């Protein structure tokens, strides 16, 4: 799996372009799924405090024979903890749950512009502390819209290394992606196969048939060729292995264009709109 490319981040660090996502994996099943992923060659795991499974991620990484430096681990600040002191406590909680002394990337999970008097800037400045003291090698955001990124640019010192956003063939989220490209912010694509919704699309199945690859491999390869960072989730070992086998085939330019053409704009969004999302877990 040395063939998974790395993407350079704006702070000098690098991130493996392909990882393994653990959203909606039962906490009790997470260590086993992550172990399967590490055995299959994944070296990048995307978790979050909100997923309640950081512990299983840490357990699997520690139980593996890999050195800590060989696995890139991302976690995220939960929505109830945007106040600076809460964010500091939550970050310590993340490190404790993972059983690690640092993460490779720590993100603000959602901007929550309708909560906290619209102040995500003081939250971001708190993440800057974690980067400065080395406990987060890189820091970034998730679900930030262009106006949120502009505000950080105007009011903060550190430019986010990444913005993790919903992005798949039915929702290219192009305005946010292009803003990132123009400002040195790497875009990570969440729900890269739209939780399976794009896999029956005739454009995708036709390309898959011609290349003798699965629809999921075609869509993930499309992300890779567009320069995106992806971490598909699966609890199914055969799919976990299938989703990492992306580096011995290529889509033609016409295939990439045809999949680009599936974009449905805002109506292709499957998750919440970040401008309005205000969920705080109890
Ligand atoms: N920052 C955010 O707000 C945010 C939001 C959502 C997701 N994320 C991150 O992005 C990661 C991926 O997104 P996601 O989990 O929403 O969705 P996804 O990766 O697009 O899709 C996962 C779903 O597709 C199925 N699947 C996986 N591989 C398949 C294959 N080869 N063939 C057929 N079906 C397949 C899985 O089923 P089985 O598991 O049953 O195999 C699961 O139901 C998450 O795990 C999380 O790390 C972040």
149-203 confidence digits (pLDDT tens) = 999 999 999 999 999 999 999 999 999 999 999 999 999 999 999 999 999 999 9
Query: Can you read off the two tokens belonging to residue 274?
Result: 């970040």
Nearest CA to ligand 1 atom 36: 234
Query: Can you read off the two tokens belonging to residue 21?
Result: 């996502």
What pLDDT score does 3 carry? Answer: 86
What pLDDT score does 2 carry? Answer: 44
In the chain, the DSSP E strands lie at 6-8, 14-16, 20-21, 44-46, 72-77, 103-108, 136-142, 162-166, 186-190, 229-230
Q: Is the pTM of this model over 0.85?
A: yes
Give the CA diameter of the chain: 55
User: What residues in the chain have per-residue pLDDT under 50?
Assistant: 1-2
Q: Is 42 in the pocket of ligand 1 (CB under 6 A)?
A: no
Q: Is 53 in the pocket of ligand 1 (CB under 6 A)?
A: no
Residues 6 or more apart whose Cβ sits within 8 Å of residue 244:
1, 4, 18, 37, 40, 41, 42
* Other beta carbons within 10 Å of 124: 26
- Sign, CA torsion 125/130/134/140: negative
Q: Is 239 in the pocket of ligand 1 (CB under 6 A)?
A: yes
What pLDDT score does 1 carry? Answer: 45
Q: How many Å lie between the centroid of ligand 1 and the Cα of residue 193? A: 7
Nearest CA to ligand 1 atom 16: 191
Phi and psi (nearest 5°) for 195?
Answer: 55, 30
What pLDDT score does 95 carry? Answer: 98
Q: Which of the residues are catalytic?
A: 51
């Amino acid at each position: 799996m040395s063939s998974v490319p790395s993407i350079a981040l704006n702070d000098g660090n690098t991130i493996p372009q392909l990882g393994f996502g653990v959203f909606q994996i039962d906490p009790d099943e997470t260590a086993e799924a992550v172990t399967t992923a590490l055995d299959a060659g994944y070296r990048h795991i995307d978790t979050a405090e909100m997923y309640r499974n950081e512990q299983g991620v840490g357990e699997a990484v520690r139980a593996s024979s890999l050195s800590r430096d060989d696995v890139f681990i991302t976690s995220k600040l939960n929505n109830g903890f945007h106040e600076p002191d809460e964010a500091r406590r939550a970050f310590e909680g993340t490190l404790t749950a993972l059983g690690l002394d640092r993460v490779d990337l720590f993100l603000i999970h959602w901007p929550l512009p309708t909560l906290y008097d619209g102040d995500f800037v003081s939250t971001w400045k708190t993440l800057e502390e974690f980067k400065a003291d080395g406990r987060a090698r890189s820091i970034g955001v998730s679900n930030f819209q262009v106006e949120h990124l502009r505000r950080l640019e105007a009011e903060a010192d550190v430019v986010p290394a990444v913005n993790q956003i919903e992005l798949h063939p039915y929702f290219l989220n192009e305005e946010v992606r292009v803003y990132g490209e123009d400002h040195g912010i790497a875009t990570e694509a969440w729900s890269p196969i739209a939780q399976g919704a794009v896999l029956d699309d005739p454009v995708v199945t036709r390309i898959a048939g011609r290349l003798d690859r699965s629809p999921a491999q075609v869509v993930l390869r499309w992300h890779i060729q567009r320069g995106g960072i992806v971490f598909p989730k699966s609890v199914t070992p055969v799919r976990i292995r299938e989703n990492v086998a992306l580096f011995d085939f290529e889509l033609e330019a016409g295939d990439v264009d045809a999949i680009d053409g599936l974009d449905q704009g805002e109506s292709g969004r499957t998750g919440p709109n970040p401008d309005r999302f205000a969920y705080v877990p109890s």
